[in-house]
Chains A and B, each alone.
Chain A
Amino acid sequence: MKHYRIGVMFSTTGSYSVVARSMLNGALLAFQEAGTVSGIEVEPVIVNPNGELPRYAEMSQQLIGSGIRHVIGCYTSSSRKEVIPCFEKHDALLWYPSHYEGFESSGNVIYTGASPNHHVALLVDHLLGNGRRRAFCVGSNYIWAWENNRILREALMARRGRVLAERYFAVGDTELQHAVDEILEARPDFVFNTLIGTSAYSFFRLFRAACEARGIDQPRKIPIASCSLSEPELEEIGPDAVDGHLSSSVYFSSLATPANTIFTASYDAAYPDGPAVSADAEASYNAVKLLIQSLADAGTDEVRAVKAAVTHQRLNAPQGEVWIDPQTLHAWLTPRIGRSTRDARFEVIVEEAAPTRPDPYLVQSSPRYALARTPELKVVK
């Protein structure tokens, strides 16, 4: 019986701990279900970097230094970028189970979360299809928000939409009343939110309250659209501001697939105190499932063999069929849009018919030239 130790690295404390705890739960559930697959034994080794960037690299170093070759972990892009050099140096494999902004394809990372084409394209289609052309962007001041806003701006402008303004706040900042006032002044058709963690929860509450005070039906008049909003976050937002938000995602806990019924029942039974299951929890669950099956198929935890094995897997995941693209090591996933309900869940309002190919560099969808920020007019007099 081969025994493999697998690193599990999530910041289960710190400003974005809610989603990270659901990711840890998703991963651990897959470990529990594994039992002994085809004569291998897997043991999770759990570490918590507490949302502090330097600790990510330190802890990766320690895990890999102790002989571990595979780590499931990271939520933010900044943490992933922090640890990749370590994985590349020691030729270990990071299984990154979260949606992200793309423009990366390390040979030492398996990306099981959504690529940018999975979450922006369908959302823009949906918003423009409903006559919503003018966006106001608010985001946390880091690469996830910057890149998503750029991608949204290009997708909107290609189809005669507009971005009225972009505002950024430090991760963890909750003093957002000024942004709320500015949005109500600008009166966009929708808000594009790329705030994460406690900043996002605060923003949802403040914005709803400000709209109510002015007699504005916020979800109908100025809906908030996000690419990262998940069920445990809805619970954090609280009952007064939880409903009517749009989220573009590859997974919602309300999906009616047989695999999801089993997944959510097992998850709820294992973690009755929450946090609720999220898209990133499903991506973490999928990552561990793919890893364990690949270890069994490869007969070793040697990185090259496991990488070769993972591209042959077809996982019947809670969201539907999921597999890893051999060219980019990103996952084929099914894009969907959900609208949040009063019970902190999402009803699915649009979905693609089949899994969509990951396109981390937006080769298939982005314009050849970046948009000029100012029109090229020439002064003639």
Chain B
Amino acid sequence: MTASRLLQNFKGGRALIVTTNRAAVEALETTLAKLGVVSEFPEIRDGRAELDLAQLDPERDILFVDGDLDDVLGLESGPAGRLPAVPVIGLVGVEAPSRLKSLVHLGATSFLRKPVHGAAVYMALFLGVNQFQLRGGLRARIDDMERRRHGRRFVIKAIVRLMSQAGIDDDAAYDLLRRESMRSRLSLEDYCEEYLRRGANEPTRLAQGDTPERRANRD
């Protein structure tokens, strides 16, 4: 899933609607059915939804959570930063900041006012699911950036080592490492880490144009 692909047809989806007010979501259920999405209503016992979040499938499931229920998924009392791995659409009753805040903390990417009006459902689903996908894409990019940030020290070390061993300047060393990383289909950071691990002899050969590929051809 790349960020630019927008989900527009929700056929085969499953809506898990967490609410105690079935009358307020009547139009939600009938409109979802028109969109090819089946609705399920997890039971709520002692204020908690009987729902195993680990079993949810982000390709299929969409969670609708009633903001008027207090910590109904049990996430607020659990470890911080845990979010459901599926799109969450908030069902808004009381518009007070505390209620809205709890929906934001659940990771809701769109909202429907209670009682739900049928004409708002496709839009809420479209925004909710696609914002969720976009957010997932951004998260993955941030993770990748973080990983590469950690790899910066390997890049610096590799440049310094190559400069001293091959007697070239920093620009030439960087260019060489970058070219080899692309040839190896690795990020620069991963390549440099790998390069440092391979040991001391590698860089001189590299600087002399003795790449693994050329060695393989020669052999």
- A residues within 8 Å of B by Cβ? 84, 103-107, 327-328, 360-364, 366-370, 372, 376, 380-381
Contacts and interface: CB of A to CB of B under 8 A. Distances in A.
A361 B35 contact: yes
Contact of A327 (B10, B33, B122, B182): B33
Nearest to A380: B182
A368 B129 CA distance: 12
Interface of B: 2, 4-11, 27, 30-31, 33-36, 118-119, 122, 182
B7 A369 contact: yes
Given A105-B118, A106-B118, A364-B11, A372 B4 contact: yes
28 contacts: A106-B119, A107-B27, A107-B118, A327-B33, A327-B34, A361-B9, A361-B34, A362-B9, A363-B10, A363-B11, A363-B36, A364-B11, A366-B9, A368-B7, A368-B9, A369-B5, A369-B6, A369-B7, A369-B9, A370-B5, A370-B6, A370-B7, A370-B8, A372-B5, A376-B2, A376-B4, A380-B182, A381-B182
A327 B35 CA distance: 10
A369 B118 CA distance: 23
A105 B2 contact: no
A106 B119 CA distance: 6
A362 B36 CA distance: 10
A139 B61 CA distance: 38
6 tightest Cβ-Cβ pairs between the two chains A and B? A363-B36, A370-B6, A369-B5, A370-B8, A363-B11, A366-B9
Nearest to A367: B9
A106 B30 CA distance: 11
Nearest to B27: A107
Given A104-B119, A106-B118, A360 B7 contact: no
Contacts of A84: 119
Contacts of A376: 2, 4
Contacts of B182: 380-381
Contacts of B4: 372, 376
A78 to B, nearest CB: 16
B28 to A, nearest CB: 13
Contacts of A107: 27, 118
A72 to B, nearest CB: 21
A105 B31 contact: yes
Which interface residue of B7, B11, B34 has the most chain A CB atoms within 10 A? B34
Contacts of B33: 327
A369 B11 contact: no
Contacts of A367: 8-9
Contacts of A381: 182
A146 to B, nearest CB: 14
Given A368-B7, A376-B4, A380-B182, 4 more contacts: A105-B118, A362-B9, A368-B8, A369-B7
B119 to A, nearest CB: 6
A376 B8 CA distance: 19
B118 A363 contact: no
A105 B27 contact: no
A203 B35 CA distance: 37
Contacts of B30: 327
A377 to B, nearest CB: 12
B160 to A, nearest CB: 26
A368 B6 CA distance: 9
A40 B39 CA distance: 41
Given A370-B6, A372-B5, A360 B34 contact: yes
Contacts of A368: 7-9, 11
Nearest to A104: B119
A312 B26 CA distance: 22
Contacts of B6: 369-370
B174 to A, nearest CB: 16
A104 B118 CA distance: 9
Contacts of B34: 105, 327-328, 360-361, 363
Contacts of B119: 84, 104, 106
Contacts of A363: 9-11, 34-36
A362 B11 CA distance: 10
Nearest to B133: A369
